[in-house]
Each structure stands twice: as structure tokens, then as C-alpha cells.
Amino acid sequence: MEQLLNEIRIAYIDSGINQVILDIPEGARNGPYGMRFNQNEEYFVELGSPLFVPRLPIHHDIRRPVPDADYATAVKDVVKQMVSLLPECFSGLTYFFDPAEILKPCFYRLYKADTDVYLYLLRVDLLPRPFEVETIEAGTNDLTQAYSTRRVYMESEIIPLDAVMWESGRVKAFRIRQLISQTWIGETGKGYLVRGVWMDTDLSKFFTKLFLPSGKRIYPYYPLFCKYKTICATSPVMSSEGRRGLIPLLHRTVQFLSPEIGKIQDVLRNSKFEEKLPEFAALRDRIPDSWRGPLAGFGVKAYLNDREQKEYSLEYGNDTA
């Protein structure tokens, strides 16, 4: 997937991998999985059975849009396992190869709300993480290790679009509807300690807390967040119903906040986000309680993992993940 400015481009679609998805039986249900965040706020699912990942190439010339045959075969094997474990997660999606992120197989689907179009983009991170995988075969300078794991990191995002571009009857690119002009605020520190400061996290807190029931806390899950210079939604429930359930919320958010984004940016350039900001409180008072319904069923509990590191369990409805 090549991203240029406000576009996500599709260079290559593998028919063999997509046939695996097309062969998912109708009515197939996900196996057990837990929804988690690690201490770095990264989302992963904890599977009921281990996933076996073969050795994958580390390097790829991004100018080559087509992957090597061995790579495609390895990814197809992983997708077969994922589909057997989480068929609802992949049902209706289309796989495509991203030459810039070869260790993150990508899947997409388009949705409409009124006349607006939204892109669902799922990325599965196959990079082995120390202490979280069981090594089966050692890696090299050119290949990752082969491993098994029950923890699979994912990016499950819904993105508003301005346009879908076609070529010879196939989707070639998605043009993102960018609502935010600039999230860079400035720099802090001196000399070698200079670092940039961005307002992305504060924007994500602002968007999310507008639509949470009063007093509810679901850190580190930000269902509405800032990315690609726009307002996106993240769908942690790995099913068609899970992602569909958040599209009306994102659609309302985009419509409601589009005229207000400039003012929100001006506020956060000078102030860290907090709920007592007058501008936040004024906007929150304008939101009907019914709009907060899609987020009411989510809850978060902190716990320590086997290595005494803090993690978070995301719960939804009556299900405990």
C-alpha cells in the first residue's frame, strides 16, 4: 500500500489469498478471542489457539508492486489460519499487498453512510515481538524467525473518503477526506533533546470523550481518533457487525465536527486537553444522548501480564474479553 499525500494506493491484489476469504462458509463464527491493549496502547487479540507464522522476508524494494511467490505462499498460509480462527473478522474483506509494509498484510472493505463513503482498513502485524512468541526456526538478516503466538497485533480502522479511484474496472486508490490542517504544534527541549510536539493524542481524547457517557473512562481505547489528518474510528470487535456498528457514529462525528475542527485545533495549540475546557463543554452539551449509544457497551480493565507488565482488557456488552 503506497500512501501519497491524502491517498492510499492499491498496487497489487492476490487472487489466491482472496479466494481463501471468499471460501469462508456462510454463517461461520469466530473462535474465542480476547481484546487487549499492551502498555504502549497497541491493540492485539489473544487467540484461543496459537497462530503459526513462517519465516517472512524482511526486505522488499518498494518500487516493486508485486511480491515474490514465496512471500505470497507464506501469507496465504497465515490467512488460512486466521480465517479458520476468526472467520467473521475477514468475511467480506479484500486482501492487497503493501510494498512498503510487507510484514503487515492489508485488507479492506468500503461502506456507505448516506452519500458518504468510508474505508475499513485492517492491517495484521506479523513482526515477531520478543517475549510474546515461541520461536520455531531462527531468523536471519533477511528473514524473520518462524514462530507461534496467541497474541496478534492489528490495526482496525474506519476512514472517511473523498473519492474511490478506479482503473480498468478495479480499485486503484482511496482519497482520504482530510479535515485537519496541521497537528504539529512545535518543538520542545534543546540541542540533542529537541523533539517535536503534535496534538494528535489530544485531538483523539477530544473526539472520543465528546461521545462517551458522562464519567465513563475507557483508556487506552480511543474509538474516535486523529490519523491521516482526519477523524477515524477504530473497530476492536472483529466482525462485520462490529465495524458496521461504529460507522454511523463516525459519520455523525464527521458531520458534526467538520465546521468546528478549526476552532478545536486553535484551542489545543495552546492548551492540553481536559474536559473542563469551555469549548469542549459547549460542544458536548450539543450532542444528543442517543449518539453515545455505540460506545456505552465498552469497558476497560487493567491487569498485569505474566511479565508483570500492565495491560488492558477491553470488554464489550456482556462479553468479557
Checking if the pLDDT of 167 tops 70, the result is: yes
Checking if the pLDDT of 311 tops 50, the result is: yes
The position carrying cell 496459537 is 50
Q: What is the pLDDT of residue 184?
A: 57
Q: What is the pLDDT of residue 26?
A: 93
Q: What is the pLDDT of residue 224?
A: 97
pTM summary value: 0.93
Model pLDDT for residues 252-265, shown as the tens digit of each residue: 999 999 999 999 99
- Measured CA to CA, the distance from residue 273 to residue 202 in angstroms comes to 5
Model pLDDT for residues 89-133, shown as the tens digit of each residue: 999 999 999 999 999 999 999 999 999 999 999 999 999 998 999
| SS3 of the chain: helix, strand, coil, percent, to 5 | 30, 35, 35
Checking if the pLDDT of 215 tops 70, the result is: yes
What number is the average pLDDT over the span 48-53?
Answer: 96
Q: What is the DSSP string of 41-110?
A: --EEEEEEEEEEE---BS---TT--S--HHHHHHHHHHHHHHHHH-HHHHTT-EEEB-TT-TTS-EEEEE
Q: pLDDT higher for 196 or 213?
A: 213
Q: What is the pLDDT of residue 314?
A: 97
Q: What is the pLDDT of residue 62?
A: 87
**Cβ of 195: how many Cβ atoms within 10 Å?**
8
Checking if the pLDDT of 4 tops 60, the result is: no
Q: Which amino acid is at 105?
A: P
Confidence of residue 196 (pLDDT cuts 50, 70, 90): very low
